[in-house]
């Protein structure tokens, strides 16, 4: 094919996909705020997305905090700035690494699971069956996942923050022989409320992105097992990229002053 | 071609000139079909001729590009909101692959509509589910299993129970016997006939199983290349005088219907 035509075709395809996603997003959000609400579905998603992600997110946060302390030490000890390590750890974790690492891990776990589940429901006609049973599939399947994921991610990230900071603490105190009481007081010293809240806002946005990409790809998948596989991959890849991009944009918004 | 079954009554379902395509692919090219109240019509036709698409157009899951679909005399193409709810409440549908919700136990599948869409109490919904399971020959213990734990034949029966649980006026059966052994097929056919008789429902069944068609149908219609090419009472099927129908009911590879095996 003519390369120019190919570029043009790809660009148009991209615009069309963006339009479809926009339409899907606005409809899905409006379903989140209109009755009926499927409370048991929402509760179930809270457990699936939040509770069962705890081990993965906790481990990720722990090791991220630990390696952060180790790396900072090897860098900062070159110019006797070890005392800055607690601050570096706590700020990096709460502002960036907590939400981003948790977001990426949950995107892999939940984005994929949502896409595979909805994709399978699509190809086995379960979504059509919902319609024939007088139940709006967007309301029953998508709204609960969006609501639960958006609300539960900040909680997960708060826990990840605590575990991550604790990981840094472990390395510094037990391996690098810092004084424990000093480490804790230094951690608090420069920490501001909004360092934590900005991370939690990010987490909510990431949670929304993860569920949205899982739902969009799964709900619109077609063509049997292969289609479901493609939907799953797309859900994880697009969610991860959107998390990284929106993370940059949100950081710009939150900390534009300094 | 557009003979009406009961000219003096209003048909329950009436399709005129229904067209549906996916991209370049024209699936339905002007389907005309009318089904009287409490009548049982069977649509036969080869795989991929758009039989399932036809059902989905009537249900409003797919939107035809042109043509009219009337239920009880009311046009239903593109209905939304309340009107769509009301429209769907008339229907029960048995899907080709059963389409049971595998995250829910059997009884919640059967009582899905009363439970989720009509706000029935759990206790009451469960009793309804157990009773409906009984009417398709399944014991109450099945109610607590999950769909994945059932055999294909049992899944079909659960799906049948789900389709009839809310006592719909119209029931669609999409290939109810495909993939089942001949004995289980006959069990399903018997159940369909029995349930339909008890409910007095209007039914549209899709199949390519002639034994099933002969058992269930009052009237048979054949869909080929997007048109209803023949329809008539069940007793006429063996001397339809239509070469397409003859080839289909005798399952011959030679005839006017050419399977496109060379393409692709
Ligand atoms: N949602 C859809 N999108 C695109 N093509 C479809 C869709 N549904 C059905 N088709 C196509 O329409 C044709 C008829 O499908 P179907 O009605 O399922 O056949 P059957 O008569 O075996 O039930 C098939 O070629 C199928 O690929
Ligand atoms: Mg079909």
Decide: A120 and A162 in contact? Cβ < 8 Å.
no
Q: What are the two backbone dihedrals, phi and then psi, of residue B36, each rounded to the nearest 5 degrees?
A: -80, 170
- pLDDT, one tens digit per residue, over A55-86 is 999 999 999 999 999 999 988 888 888 888 99
Give the residues across from B34 on adjacent strands.
Answer: B14
- pLDDT, one tens digit per residue, over A217-246 is 999 998 888 999 999 999 999 999 999 999
Rounded Cα distance between B127 and B211, Å, is 34
Rounded Cα distance between A236 and A116, Å, is 11
Which residues in chain A have Cβ-Cβ distances shorter than 8 Å to B113?
133-135
B102 band by pLDDT with thresholds 50, 70 and 90: very high
**Percent share of chain B, pLDDT over 70:** 95
Q: Which mutation among B18, B20, B22, B97 tests ligand 1's pocket best, with the greatest number of atoms within 8 A of CB?
A: B22
Whether the predicted pLDDT of B61 surpasses 80: yes
pLDDT at A257: 65
Strand-strand pairing, B25-35 and B13-22: antiparallel
Rounded Cα distance between A102 and A207, Å, is 10
Kindly write down the DSSP assignment for every residue of A229-240, as one continuous string: HHHHHHHHHHHH
Whether the predicted pLDDT of B181 surpasses 90: no
**Is B173 an 8 Å CB contact of chain A?**
no
Whether the predicted pLDDT of A213 surpasses 70: yes
Decide: A190 and A88 in contact? Cβ < 8 Å.
no
**Is A140 an 8 Å CB contact of chain B?**
yes
User: Residue B93: which of A132, A135, A140 has the nearest Cβ?
Assistant: A132
Decide: B203 and B173 in contact? Cβ < 8 Å.
yes
B262 band by pLDDT with thresholds 50, 70 and 90: low
Whether the predicted pLDDT of B135 surpasses 90: no
B32 band by pLDDT with thresholds 50, 70 and 90: very high
Whole-number average pLDDT of chain A: 93
Whether the predicted pLDDT of A45 surpasses 80: yes
- Strand ranges, E, within A72-167: none
For residue B46, the ligand 1 atom closest to its alpha carbon is: 21
* Helix, strand, coil shares, percent, chain A, to 5: 90, 0, 10
B191 band by pLDDT with thresholds 50, 70 and 90: confident
Determine the residue of chain B that is closest to A132 in CA distance: B88
C-alpha closest to that of B62 among B71, B49, B70, B53: B53
DSSP state of B240: -
pLDDT at A190: 87
Q: Which mutation among B18, B48, B228 tests ligand 1's pocket best, with the greatest number of atoms within 8 A of CB?
A: B48
Q: What are the two backbone dihedrals, phi and then psi, of residue B143, each rounded to the nearest 5 degrees?
A: -55, -30
The answer to whether the Cβ–Cβ distance between A128 and B61 falls below 8 Å is: yes
The answer to whether the Cβ–Cβ distance between B97 and A134 falls below 8 Å is: no
Extents of the domains making up chain A: 59-254
Angle at which helix A224-254 crosses helix A193-219, to 10 degrees, equals 160
Strand-strand pairing, B170-174 and B74-75: unpaired
Strand-strand pairing, B91-94 and B25-35: unpaired
Whether the predicted pLDDT of B5 surpasses 60: no
Q: Give the three-state DSSP class for B77.
A: coil
- pLDDT (average), residues B166-177: 92
- A window 31-60, beta carbon within 8 A of B: 38
pLDDT at B240: 84
How far is ligand 2, taken at its centre, from the CA of residue B161, in Å? 20
- pLDDT (average), residues B129-134: 93
pLDDT at B256: 83
Determine the residue of chain A that is closest to B100 in CA distance: A126
Residues in chain A: 258
The answer to whether the Cβ–Cβ distance between B85 and A134 falls below 8 Å is: yes
CB pairs under 8 A between A and B: 49
Rounded Cα distance between B123 and B110, Å, is 13
Whole-number average pLDDT of chain B: 88
Query: B103 vs A141, B147, B258, CA distance in Å?
Result: 12, 8, 42
How far is ligand 1, taken at its centre, from the CA of residue B54, in Å? 9
Of the candidate ranges A1-5, A122-126, A181-185, the one whose mean pLDDT is the lowest: A1-5
pTM: 0.90
Of residues B240 and A215, more confidently modeled: A215
Whether the predicted pLDDT of B131 surpasses 70: yes
The answer to whether the Cβ–Cβ distance between B117 and A132 falls below 8 Å is: no
Q: Give the three-state DSSP class for B18.
A: strand
| B167 Rama sector, left if φ>0, alpha if ψ -120 to 50, beta otherwise | left
pLDDT at B233: 92
Whether the predicted pLDDT of B9 surpasses 80: no
How many Å separate Cα A187 from the centre of its chain?
A: 25
The answer to whether the Cβ–Cβ distance between A131 and B99 falls below 8 Å is: no
Q: Give the three-state DSSP class for B94.
A: strand
Of the candidate ranges B14-23, B25-34, B237-246, the one whose mean pLDDT is the lowest: B237-246
Give the residues across from B98 on adjacent strands.
Answer: B95
Of residues B4 and A251, more confidently modeled: A251
Give the gap in angstroms from C-alpha B53 to the nearest C-alpha of chain A.
Answer: 12
Q: Which residues surround ligand 2, an ion (CB under 5 A)?
A: B 52
Give the gap in angstroms from C-alpha B115 to the nearest C-alpha of chain A.
Answer: 10
With a CB cutoff of 8 Å and minimum separation 6, the contacts of B2 are B16, B32, B34
Whether the predicted pLDDT of B264 surpasses 50: no
With a CB cutoff of 8 Å and minimum separation 6, the contacts of B18 are B28, B30, B31, B32, B54, B57, B64, B66, B67, B68, B69
Which residues in chain A have Cβ-Cβ distances shorter than 8 Å to B100?
126, 129
- pLDDT (average), residues A193-215: 96
B78 band by pLDDT with thresholds 50, 70 and 90: confident
- pLDDT (average), residues B111-115: 92
Whether the predicted pLDDT of B92 surpasses 80: yes
**Is A129 an 8 Å CB contact of chain B?**
yes
Angle at which helix A143-170 crosses helix A54-76, to 10 degrees, equals 40
Give the gap in angstroms from C-alpha B92 to the nearest C-alpha of chain A.
Answer: 7
**Is B88 an 8 Å CB contact of chain A?**
yes
């Amino acid at each position: 094919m003519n390369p120019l035509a190919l570029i043009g075709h790809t660009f148009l395809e991209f615009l069309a996909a963006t339009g479809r996603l926009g339409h899907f997003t606005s409809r899905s959000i409006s379903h989140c705020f209109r009755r009926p609400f499927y409370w048991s579905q929402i509760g179930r998603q809270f457990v699936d997305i939040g509770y069962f992600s705890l081990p993965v997110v906790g481990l990720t946060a722990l090791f991220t905090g630990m390696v952060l302390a180790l790396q900072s030490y090897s860098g900062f000890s070159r110019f006797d700035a070890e005392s800055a390590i607690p601050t570096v750890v706590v700020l990096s974790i709460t502002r960036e690494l907590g939400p981003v690492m948790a977001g990426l891990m949950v995107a892999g776990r939940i984005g994929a699971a949502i896409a595979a589940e909805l994709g399978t429901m699509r190809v086995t006609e379960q979504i059509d069956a919902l319609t024939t049973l007088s139940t709006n599939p967007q309301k029953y399947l998508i709204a609960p996942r969006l609501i639960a994921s958006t609300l539960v991610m900040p909680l997960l990230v708060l826990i990840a923050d605590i575990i991550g900071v604790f990981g840094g603490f472990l390395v510094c105190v037990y391996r690098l022989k810092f004084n424990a009481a000093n480490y804790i007081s230094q951690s608090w010293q420069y920490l501001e409320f909004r360092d934590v809240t900005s991370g939690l806002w990010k987490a909510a946005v990431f949670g929304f992105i993860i569920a949205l990409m899982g739902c969009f790809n799964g709900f619109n998948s077609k063509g049997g097992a292969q289609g479901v596989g493609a939907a799953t991959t797309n859900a994880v890849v697009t969610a991860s990229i959107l998390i990284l991009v929106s993370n940059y944009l949100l950081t710009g918004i939150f900390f534009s002053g300094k | 071609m557009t003979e009406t079954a009961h000219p003096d009554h209003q048909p329950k379902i009436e399709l005129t000139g229904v067209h549906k395509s996916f991209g370049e692919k024209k699936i339905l090219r002007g389907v005309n079909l009318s089904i009287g109240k409490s009548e049982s019509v069977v649509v036969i036709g080869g795989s991929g001729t758009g039989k399932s698409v036809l059902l989905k157009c009537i249900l409003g899951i797919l939107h035809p590009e042109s043509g009219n679909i009337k239920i009880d005399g009311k046009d239903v193409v593109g209905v939304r909101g309340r009107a769509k709810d009301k429209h769907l409440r008339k229907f029960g549908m048995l899907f080709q692959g059963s389409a049971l919700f595998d995250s829910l136990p059997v009884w919640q599948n059967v009582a899905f509509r009363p439970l989720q869409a009509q706000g029935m109490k759990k206790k009451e919904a469960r009793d309804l589910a157990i009773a409906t399971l009984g009417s398709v020959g399944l014991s109450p213990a099945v109610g607590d299993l999950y769909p994945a734990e059932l055999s294909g034949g049992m899944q079909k029966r659960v799906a049948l129970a789900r389709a009839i649980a809310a006592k719909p006026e119209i029931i669609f059966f999409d290939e109810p016997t495909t993939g089942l052994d001949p004995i289980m097929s006959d069990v399903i056919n018997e159940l369909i006939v029995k349930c339909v008789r008890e409910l007095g429902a209007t039914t549209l069944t899709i199949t390519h199983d002639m034994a099933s068609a002969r058992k269930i149908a009052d009237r048979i219609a054949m869909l080929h290349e997007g048109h209803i090419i023949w329809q008539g009472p069940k007793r006429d099927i063996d001397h339809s005088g239509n070469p397409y129908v003859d080839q289909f009911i005798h399952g011959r590879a030679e005839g006017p219907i050419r399977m496109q095996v060379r393409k692709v």
